[in-house]
């Protein structure tokens, strides 16, 4: 028998290798859990999350100690707790994105999960969930302060915040978080994004008021361009249809547009 025939017999006798199975895609729930854990894993991340509870307790205690207890209502505690929330929550939105670059974990993240869209989507969902849970926690702490005030004064507790008003407060804070998230995507640098957020929320409103005092056109139409003018109404008033439209337009300008531009930069930029 020739060498060629022996080789052919050996090839025919060799068992066929099983076909390689395609690994199952990573479920989005795992992406969510990993991104959520990353927000708590670092020391700074843990204390930033803990500051939500700490700030709520301190604000409630100060309101109870320093306020006129006969005039305190649930709205008083909600306003006191809402002030630190409006600062802490947007910073969480910023750091949810920028920490990947400041801690140099972006290369590892996008190597293990090549779909950058899914990573960013997971971060966005977690940011919104943390915002909602934080506001519910703050509401519970404020309600406890209202009950303690009622026990101390002997007066009946006043519950003057409706479900609709609370929903507007949650929406206002979620918008603040998404603004921080969008700036985080846009700059991918923690100091720059944080400074950008405070410029938008602290500097621009003053400039808008100064411009409105000297330009009647701006005073009449600032609601179509100034996000804070309509967003801050969510904390106190029931918006009209006209104001809801203005809020939608300004949200497109200040939140949706930076978010889309930042997402485009994240998807196309080289990660080092």
Please give the pLDDT value at position 19: 67
**Taking the chain (272 residues) in consecutive chunks of 10 residues, what is each chunk's mean pLDDT?**
50 58 80 89 82 88 84 84 85 90 83 89 94 90 88 84 86 92 93 92 88 87 87 81 92 94 90 75
Please give the pLDDT value at position 8: 45
Alpha-carbon gap, residue 142 to 234, rounded angstroms = 19
State the Cα torsion 264-102-85-206 to the nearest 10°: -70
Please give the pLDDT value at position 247: 92
Closest by CA position to 113, among listed 20, 189, 27, 178 = 27
């Amino acid at each position: 028998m020739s060498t060629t025939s022996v080789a052919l017999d050996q090839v025919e006798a060799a068992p066929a290798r099983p076909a390689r199975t395609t690994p199952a895609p990573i479920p989005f729930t795992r992406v969510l859990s990993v991104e959520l854990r990353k927000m708590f894993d670092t020391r700074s991340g843990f204390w930033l999350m803990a500051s939500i509870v700490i700030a709520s307790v301190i604000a409630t205690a100060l309101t109870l100690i320093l306020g006129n207890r006969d005039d305190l209502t649930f709205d008083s505690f909600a306003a006191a707790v809402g002030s630190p929330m409006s600062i802490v929550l947007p910073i969480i939105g910023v750091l949810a994105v920028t920490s990947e670059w400041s801690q140099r974990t972006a290369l590892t993240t996008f190597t293990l999960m090549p779909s950058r869209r899914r990573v960013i989507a997971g971060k966005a969902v977690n940011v919104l969930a943390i915002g909602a849970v934080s506001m519910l926690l703050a509401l519970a702490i404020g309600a406890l302060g209202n009950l303690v005030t009622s026990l101390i004064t002997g007066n009946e507790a006043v519950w003057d915040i409706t479900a609709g008003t609370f929903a507007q407060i949650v929406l206002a804070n979620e918008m603040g978080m998404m603004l921080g998230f969008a700036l985080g995507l846009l700059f991918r640098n923690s100091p720059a994004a944080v400074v950008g957020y405070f410029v938008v929320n602290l500097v621009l409103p003053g400039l808008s008021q100064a411009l409105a005092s000297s330009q009647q056109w701006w005073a009449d139409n600032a609601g179509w361009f100034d996000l804070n003018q309509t967003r801050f109404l969510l904390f106190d008033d029931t918006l009209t249809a006209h104001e809801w439209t203005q809020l939608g337009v300004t949200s497109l300008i200040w939140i949706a547009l930076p978010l889309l531009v930042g997402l485009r930069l994240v998807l196309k930029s080289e990660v080092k």
